[in-house]
């Protein structure tokens, strides 16, 4: 009788552990955080975003006027931001710090100051 109780408890315990590990698999790591960003002469909105090191992210970039682009030289990331369909820039920050991206496509007199800053923390 006692042995049956113990084995039942063990089975329930094992199932509980399976449930916990099973649900963990479909959270954060598999669904990258999507951040919508609007490019418009001569700024990105938002112009600063906070990211976590090691957490995958997708920047969804829209243009509201002319074609733009974004380049993070230190991160070796570059994408065009055309008109119409948004561009997606997927990456996982591997270092902490502040990284400044610049518009990579000449779009007028304020082009040089068109930046997007990533603040990456642990
Ligand atoms: Cu530009």
What is the distance in A from the centroid of ligand 1 to the CA of 116?
12
- Mean pLDDT over each residue of the chain, to the nearest integer: 86
pTM of the predicted protein model:
0.74
pLDDT surpasses 90 at 28: no
Mean pLDDT of 78-88: 95
105 touches 82 (CB < 8 A): no
Which CATH architecture does the domain made up of 32-121 adopt? Sandwich (2.60)
**Tens-digit pLDDT profile for residues 10-27:** 545 554 544 444 444 445
Residue with tokens 């070796």: 76
What is the distance in A from the centroid of ligand 1 to the CA of 3?
73
What is the distance in A from the centroid of ligand 1 to the CA of 109?
9
The H or E element containing residue 77 is: strand 77-81
Mean pLDDT of 67-92: 96
What is the distance in A from the centroid of ligand 1 to the CA of 38?
13
Mean pLDDT of 80-98: 96
What is the distance in A from the centroid of ligand 1 to the CA of 12?
60
What is the distance in A from the centroid of ligand 1 to the CA of 34?
23
b/e sequence 47-56, b meaning 16+ C-beta within 10 Å: eebebeeeeb
What is the distance in A from the centroid of ligand 1 to the CA of 19?
49
Residue 84: band (very low, low, confident or very high) from pLDDT cuts 50, 70, 90:
confident
The confidence score (pLDDT) of residue 82 equals 95
């Amino acid at each position: 009788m006692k042995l049956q109780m113990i084995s039942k408890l063990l089975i329930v315990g094992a199932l509980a552990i399976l449930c916990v590990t099973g649900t963990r698999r479909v959270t954060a790591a598999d669904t990258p955080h999507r951040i919508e960003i609007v490019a418009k002469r001569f700024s990105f909105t938002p112009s600063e975003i906070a990211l976590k090191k090691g957490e995958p992210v997708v920047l969804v970039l829209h243009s509201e006027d002319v074609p733009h682009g974004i380049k993070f030289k230190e991160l070796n990331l570059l994408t065009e931001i055309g008109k119409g369909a948004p561009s997606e820039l997927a990456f996982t920050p591997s270092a902490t710090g502040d990284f400044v991206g610049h518009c990579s496509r000449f779009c007028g007199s304020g082009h040089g100051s068109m930046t997007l800053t990533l603040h990456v923390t642990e």
